Structure 1
Amino acid sequence: MGGFHSLQGRYVTIKSSLTPKNLLARCKPWILSPLVGALGGGCAQLLGWPLPWMIGALVSVAALRCLGCLTSPMPYGIKVGQWIIATGIGLHFNQTVLEQILGHLGLVLVGTLLTVFTCVIGIILHRHYGESFATAYFASMPGGASEMVNLGRPHGAELQHVAASHSLRMMLVLVGIPSVYTWLFAGEQAIIAPLSNPDVGWLVLLFVCGGLVALVFQHWRLPNAWQLGALLVSSLFSINFNLHISLPDGAGEVGQWLLGSSLGCHFERSFFRRAPAFMLRTLLATVAAVFLVVPIALLMSWISSLDMRTLVLGMVPGGIAEMSLIAEALGLLVPLVTAMQVLRLLLVLFLAEPVFRFWQSCLREK
């Protein structure tokens, strides 16, 4: 009888441990992110969304976290996603495209500088409603969230507001721009032809070299090390050896899924409840900046004969991978978008803090 009761007790213990709640508790805290992201990406593809595996994954994981399940990003998800996507983006570079970009380099630089100046809208708006100059400045700069938080920390910026502002801007641009482009330019002719079939030997070499360079960049603490390292190697090889190859079918979708599932973990209910007036001002400043980009792109297109749709994507305050993927999906000039986004990132990283110090000293003198 004692043995029977012992077995019965073990059965009850095992049965109680197999409830959904206990199973979730035993899982790794990140396990739901890729699973829900894959489900969201698949549904988005069935619904015909643009960039379905990135946007669908991002929205579904963000919705899960807003429902109270605070799952965390998959380990190395962002790095691997950036590694795959940046390698694919770099394959769009070739000698002809490089000559075209270099031929209009001065114009591209001026256009990129003008779009950086659109951040003044956000600075003025936040300052008008009482935010400190440091918070308003670093929350409005069109750079990455982690980089602006690091730059704003020693100057007393409110770091939660800075991080929230950049996360919201990224989500708005990533979700809104592809939908608007798909609606406005449906049926428009693609500028570039699709790349040819993949070459396993070259791709293995590109991924290995790109990973090694990314590790060096990471050791040097450069921002977006895995994205910039893979992009640098892939584009240099593609230009010098005139590769004209592509990633295998499905590889780009895997990269989008990894990136979208990780980016969705930036959002939860407290994010949207945090300083709603501040978030609304960020929304208005982002929309205003995008609208200001359009006439600049039209003027640049008229001067240079470059495609206006491509120029807009290169100048909107989005990320390198995100805007380049939109260009790729629409058949636009991916290298031009990538070059403009990288150039803006470098300008912001190198100039943001010196300009802040100069501007702050001018305000003190007044």
Structure 2
Amino acid sequence: MPRFNRLHTGFKSLLTLAAGVLGGYMLALAGLPLPWMLGAIAGASVAAVWGLETALPRWLRNGALVVIGLMLASSIHPGILKHIAHWPVSMTGVALYVVIATASLYALFRRFAGFDPTTAYFASAPGGLMAMVVVGAQLGGNEQKIALTHAIRVVFVVFIVVLGSHALFGINTQHSAAVASRSPTLTQWSLLIMVGAAGWALGRLLRLPAAAMLGPLLVMAVARIGGVHFAPVPAPLFAVAQVVIGTGIGAGFAGISLRDLLRHALLSVLAAVWLLILSALLAWALERLTGLPFDALFLGLTPGGLSAISIIAIALEINPAFVIAHNLFRIILITFAAPVVFRVLRRHRSGSQ
């Protein structure tokens, strides 16, 4: 019987992953941004809502989180930190944007969606989809609601920015998406694996939320700032990690009614429109204050996913270093600060009662 149960669970996991891969492949064929993660969310969600028994091993999801953490850390290097030192006002604007966006969306989700405080908080963060889903669930939030709200919002923001860029500038944001990636050598693979394993162990030792992602991110970031060179995470491995994470998110949507899906979609679209308006308003104010170009500031603030926004910046030739640095700062700020601020606020609420 135990052997049969293991085989049954393994079969469910394969079917769940197949649904995620199919969704990612269809979005990739359509040339859409972030296809493997968003497509996997869509594919696994449809399968779960239609009644498929979904399952995904925890070790597989943790392994994918390690890859995501290494991928985020690969964007951190001393050069970017030097650039950040030259943009103190606009970087402060990013922090202000995160605070205003989170507070305003929190009020929206609490009042009009009836989300509990934890779910509303982590659904409100303007970025860090995977981190917010994982950490929010660990701290008692509703993983399904957080994931669905973020996913729909990201898709809508990216579509509006891409279509708007195409309409205004006539550019094709797909040509930069297919970048060749050389496979690391055996030594480079060994180094990546050691850093990932050490980071995961450190994250668990420090009891970090989403330790499998934040631990490797922290270790590799410190090493890169110290001058250690790492081979980039291969694009196919990153795509696999996105499929696993997206499938895991989508697999949790079983039992959600069509009414709830439509309700989340409406709220997420409203949230995306507000975030785009807020990005434009703050970019305009920062342009007046710093003299930096509006388009770079707008893309630097827009929470549409680091990879998609970076592709748009490159296609439009809008100072990619500036845009990437500001988006990366926003994501790192949210990833590390959001759980800490949440715990402080929760302790304060508990103490005041």
Give the TM-score category using the shorter length. Answer: 0.7 to 0.9
Indicate the SS of the match to 2:12: coil
| Counterpart code for 1:289 | L
Partner of 1:339: 329
Question: What letter matches 2:192 in structure 1?
Answer: L
Q: Does residue 1:100 correspond to 2:86, yes or no?
A: no
Partner of 1:226: 212
Equivalence for 1:18 = none
Q: Which residue in 2 is equivalent to 1:175?
A: 155
- Secondary structure of the equivalent of 2:334? helix
1:266 aligns with 2:255: no
Alignment map for 1:306-325 (pairs within 5 Å): 307-313=296-302, 316=303, 323-325=305-307
The TM-score normalised by the length of structure 1 is: 0.72
Alignment CA distance shift 1:209-1:47 (3 Å): same
Unaligned runs of 5+ in 2: 1-6, 126-130, 315-319
Aligned-pair CA distance for 1:127: 5.3
Paired amino acid for 2:217: L
CA distance in 1, matches of 2:165, 2:146: 27
Mean Cα deviation higher: 124-133 or 54-63: 124-133
Secondary structure at the aligned position of 1:241 is classed as coil
For 2:342 and 2:232, the matched residues in 1 are separated by: 36
Which range moved further: 265-274 or 342-351?
265-274
Q: Partner amino acid for 1:207?
A: I
TM-aligned CA deviation for residue 212 of structure 1:
1.1
One-letter amino acid of the structure 1 residue matched with residue 132 of structure 2: G
Higher Cα Rg, which structure = 1
For 1:1-366, list aligned pairs within 5 A: 27-105=10-88, 107-126=90-109, 128=111, 131=114, 134=117, 138=121, 141-142=124-125, 144-148=132-136, 151=139, 160=142, 163-186=143-166, 187=171, 197=182, 199-200=184-185, 201-241=187-227, 243=229, 245-270=231-256, 272-274=258-260, 280-281=266-267, 283-300=269-286, 303=290, 305=292, 307-313=296-302, 316=303, 323-330=305-312, 331=314, 332-333=320-321, 334-355=324-345
Q: Deviations over 1:229-280 (max 9, x none)?
A: 2323333444443748433352222222222222211323425545976775
Distance 2:332 2:44 in 1: 28
Query: CA 1:120 to 1:295, structure 2 compared with 1: closer, same or farther past 3 Å?
Result: same
TM-score, with structure 2 as normaliser: 0.74
Identify if the C-alpha distance between structure 1 residues 139 and 37 changes in structure 2 by more than 3 Å, giving closer, same or farther.
Answer: closer
1:132 & 1:176 partners in 2: Cα distance? 21
| Matched residue SS, 2:37 | helix
Identity among equivalent positions (%) equals: 18
C-alpha RMSD of matched pairs (Å) = 3.9
Task: Report the secondary structure of 2:11's partner residue.
Answer: coil
Counterpart CA distance in 1 for 2:122 and 2:73 is 30
Q: Tell me, yes or no, if the aligned pair for 1:87 and 1:234 is still in contact at 8 Å.
A: yes
Q: Find the aligned partners of 1:37 and 1:54 in 2 and give their Cα distance.
A: 8
Do the aligned partners of residues 66 and 175 (structure 1) sit closer, same or farther apart at CA in structure 2, a change above 3 Å counting?
Answer: same
